[in-house]
Amino acid sequence: MSLVIRMARAGTKKRPVYHIVVADSRSPRDGRFIERLGYFNPLLPKEKTDRLKLDLEKVQAWMKKGAQPSDRVTRFLDAAGIMKREKRNNPEKAIPRKERKAKEEEATKAKEAGDAAAKTAATVKAATDKAAADKAKAEKAAEAPAAS
């Protein structure tokens, strides 16, 4: 049973509130959970302390038992100083989609050109090998009647 510390959505339509819970990873997002550790209200301003409430002692206890926090909960724990969150690096995300597609097309064209060049080089090599074999065969055939 793998445990996850994650957010379960509550609240009404268009007014979300999230409970931070410990749950089995196989259970549904808003379904069965083991223990509630706090809440998060994204509608409140960031400077309000009521926006996020976590029982940090319970979180640490569950992490010692093997519970893995989700990405969003890891951000909260990083802000609280409990866990260090790795900074993500995706340099491709900053490039606009059109430029990314153009870059990918150039790469595929270059690869196809390289494949075509390799194919023609292999064809030329095979032709020269065949010509050399034919020449050797002709020389051998020319020597055989002269020796008889």
Residue 7 has pLDDT above 70, yes or no: yes
Domain 3-80 maps to which CATH number in 3.30.1320.10, 3.90.930.12, 3.40.50.1370, 3.40.1440.10?
Answer: 3.30.1320.10
pLDDT averaged over every residue in the chain: 85
Give the count of beta carbons closer than 10 Å to the beta carbon of residue 21.
Answer: 23
Integer Cα distance of 108 and 105 in angstroms: 5
State the DSSP code for 93: G
pLDDT recorded at residue 1 = 67
Strand partners for 68:
4
pLDDT per residue over 81-129, tens digit each? 888 888 878 777 777 888 888 888 888 888 888 777 777 777 777 777 7
